[in-house]
């Protein structure tokens, strides 16, 4: 995977930064349902792009390596969010 492929995948799924894996999956399901070839507005090429984008982002998120550094933590929690605010 290249950064360009990664960036294109983010764009295809219409994601914003600081998203979660569950939000990525939700967006994937929404788009795949809309563009599925069996749907009236279906588009096989777009559907295949969506599937590939989800595959790339899922692989990235499943295999991300954590450094447990202060910088990484501050990137993930820029405003010092408490645990009770993000546990569902």
pLDDT of the residue at 18: 78
SS (H, E, C) the chain: CCHHHHHHHHHHHCCCCCCCHHHHHHHHHHHHHHHCCCCCCCCHHHHHHHHHHHHHHHHHHHCCCCCCCHHHHHHHCCCCCCHHHHCC
Question: How do residues 12-55 score in pLDDT, each as one tens digit?
Answer: 999 987 788 999 999 999 999 999 999 999 999 999 999 999 99
**pLDDT, position 1:** 81
pLDDT at 4: 93
Q: How is the chain split into domains, by residue range?
A: 3-11+21-78
Q: What is the mean pLDDT of residues 43-70?
A: 92
Q: pTM for this structure?
A: 0.76
Residue 81, pLDDT score: 58
Q: What is the pLDDT of residue 84?
A: 60
3-11+21-78 has CATH 1.10.287 classification: yes
Between 28 and 88, residue with greater pLDDT: 28
Residue 7 and residue 14 in contact, taking contact as beta carbons nearer than 8 Å = no
């Amino acid at each position: 995977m290249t950064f360009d492929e990664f960036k294109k995948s983010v764009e295809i799924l219409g994601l914003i930064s600081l998203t979660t894996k569950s939000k990525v999956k939700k967006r994937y399901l929404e788009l795949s349902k809309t563009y599925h070839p069996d749907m009236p507005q279906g588009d096989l090429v777009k559907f295949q792009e969506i599937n590939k984008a989800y595959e790339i982002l899922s692989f990235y998120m499943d295999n991300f390596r954590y450094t447990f550094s202060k910088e990484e933590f501050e990137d993930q929690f820029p405003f010092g969010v408490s645990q009770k605010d993000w546990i569902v």
